[in-house]
Amino acid sequence: MSDLSKYCVSLKCSIREAFKQMDVGDKKFILVVDDNDKVIGIVTDGDFRRAIWASVSFQDNIITIMNEDFVHASEDYEIEHLKKEFRKSKTLQQIPILKLGYLQNVIFREDLTKHKRSLKKVDLPVVIMAGGTGTRLDPFTRILPKPLIPIGNKPMIEVIMDEYAKYGIKLFYVSVNHKAKIIKAFFEDFDKDYSISYLTEEEPYGTAGALKFLDSKIKSPFFVSNCDIIVFDDYAKIYEFHTKGRYDFTLIASVQHHTHPYGVCEIDNGGELKEIREKPEYDLLVNTGMYLIEPSILDLIPDDKFFDMTDLIKKIREKELKIGVYPVSEKSWVDVGQWEEYEKALNSFKL
């Protein structure tokens, strides 16, 4: 392995810094090393997620959420031993190879099975909200509807569908309004075995209004996705979180790290300077536009009325129903509905 440093962070770093580095390594884990570069623990994406749920500050030291007891092997490891360890735990995805505590290599599950881990199937339908005008991608959307803007050699909506299909999902509902005929024409010659039905808005119904068309048609929980966002995470784990928590509505949120470019003044005593914090960093949980919803929630959506997802969330809270938040990393979410992110997608997606 050429660059093992991308899988490591210092024991002195913060949870925020470690979370960022995990995104660089792109393998859902990070190893913690001491001042001599010896490995002393591991942190997985699940540990980060539990820290967020527990409201742990991202300024805290990474050691506060680190696991010292983790599966590893010595440099004289035997392949069969590693295979046995992977068989013992379906969640184990990597085994660090250590020599006197120093990292020599990382063996991943797919290294031994010669294929990526099989993903747990999720037998749920998906609603893709594709009725908007796509003003953020103007002037492209004056010609093409936003769902058909290309990423690589595929339109956005196909990229989104393909991501769900990895989990065995093939039933899709697509809400349409703006340039609906063009969207439907694209799917007339679609060569994949997806079942596609349309929720046709005669006029714009907002980001949630078209879901009312599913009332009495759908009996299971269902995913909802904006047509310009892609979340790269384990959808089966999202569903497991939703069902175990008995949530009525689950919102998938991305951890976003921001550095304010200026010194921020804090004042006290009617105008006296208390402190200046230079370029402070903030961690925010941002709504990605992906949800998992129980069918009973459809009763809260009015008929034939403009109704945004924020309106629906407000109603759910008024009814004191349960809303869960499932965090994903910053890199796991791409909002291709804005130019800057769209250009990043063009450069990074290998489709």
CATH number, domain at 190? 3.90.550.10
- Report d(CA 157, CA 176) in Å as an integer: 12
Flag whether pLDDT at 218 surpasses 60: yes
351 has a pLDDT exceeding 70: no
Both 315 and 167 in a single domain? yes
The tokens of 178 are what? 């703006």
Same domain, 146 and 17: no
Using DSSP bridges, classify how beta strands 249-259 and 323-328 pair: parallel, antiparallel or unpaired.
Answer: parallel
| One domain, residues 68 and 156 | no
- Rounded CA separation 107/110 (Å): 8
Domain identity same for 106 and 190: no
Q: Which of 59, 91, 113 is the last residue of a domain?
A: 113
Q: Decide if 5 contacts 33 (C-beta within 8 A).
A: no
In this structure, is residue 121 part of a structural domain?
Answer: no
- How confident is the model over 238-251, as a mean pLDDT? 97
| pLDDT value, residue 150 | 83
pTM: 0.87
- 63 lies in the same domain as 102: yes
The mean predicted confidence, pLDDT, of the chain is: 90
Which phi-psi region, left, alpha or beta, contains residue 179 (left: φ > 0; alpha: ψ -120 to 50)? Answer: left
Instruction: Please enumerate in sequence order all residues whose Cβ is within 8 A of that of 230, keeping only pairs 6 or more positions apart, or say none.
Output: 156, 159, 160, 163, 333, 334, 336
In a domain, 331, yes or no: yes
- Predicted confidence at residue 1, as pLDDT, reads 41
pLDDT tens-place string over residues 145-163 = 788 888 878 888 999 999 9
Q: Please tell me the total number of residues recorded for the chain in this structure.
A: 351
Residues 96, 143 share a domain? no
pLDDT at position 37 is 95
Q: Are 210 and 151 contained in the same domain?
A: yes
Residue 118, both tokens: 């099989």
Residue 91 banded pLDDT, cuts 50, 70, 90: confident
Task: Mark whether 341 and 233 lie in a shared domain.
Answer: yes
287: enclosing H helix or E strand: strand 281-293
Q: Are residues 85 and 143 in the same domain?
A: no
pLDDT more than 70, % of the chain:
92
Its domain, for residue 66, covers 4-113
Q: How confident is the model at residue 74 (pLDDT cuts 50, 70, 90)?
A: very high
For residue range 262-285, list pLDDT tens digits in order.
Answer: 999 999 888 899 999 998 888 889
Examine the domain organization and report whether 13 and 36 are in the same domain. yes
163/290 same-domain check:
yes
Assess whether pLDDT exceeds 90 at residue 219.
yes
pLDDT at 202: 87
CB atoms within 10 A of CB 266: 9
Lowest mean pLDDT among 22-26, 57-61, 135-139: 135-139
Q: Which amino acid is at 308?
A: D
Q: Is 192 part of a structural domain of the chain? A: yes
pLDDT of residue 151: 82
Q: Above 60 in pLDDT, residue 92? A: yes
CATH of the domain at 94: 3.10.580.10
Going by pLDDT thresholds of 50, 70 and 90, the confidence category of residue 350 is: low
Q: Are 90 and 207 in a shared domain? A: no
Residue 10 CB neighbours (<10 A):
14
- Compute the average pLDDT of residues 112-140: 78
Residues contacting 41, CB < 8 A, separation 6+: 31, 32, 63, 66, 67, 68, 70
Residue-level pLDDT at 2: 53
Residue 119, in any domain of the structure: no
CB atoms within 10 A of CB 123: 11
pLDDT tens figures, 289-313: 999 999 999 999 999 899 999 999 9
For the chain, the domain total comes to 2
* 276 in a structural domain: yes
Domain end residue (candidates: 64, 83, 113): 113
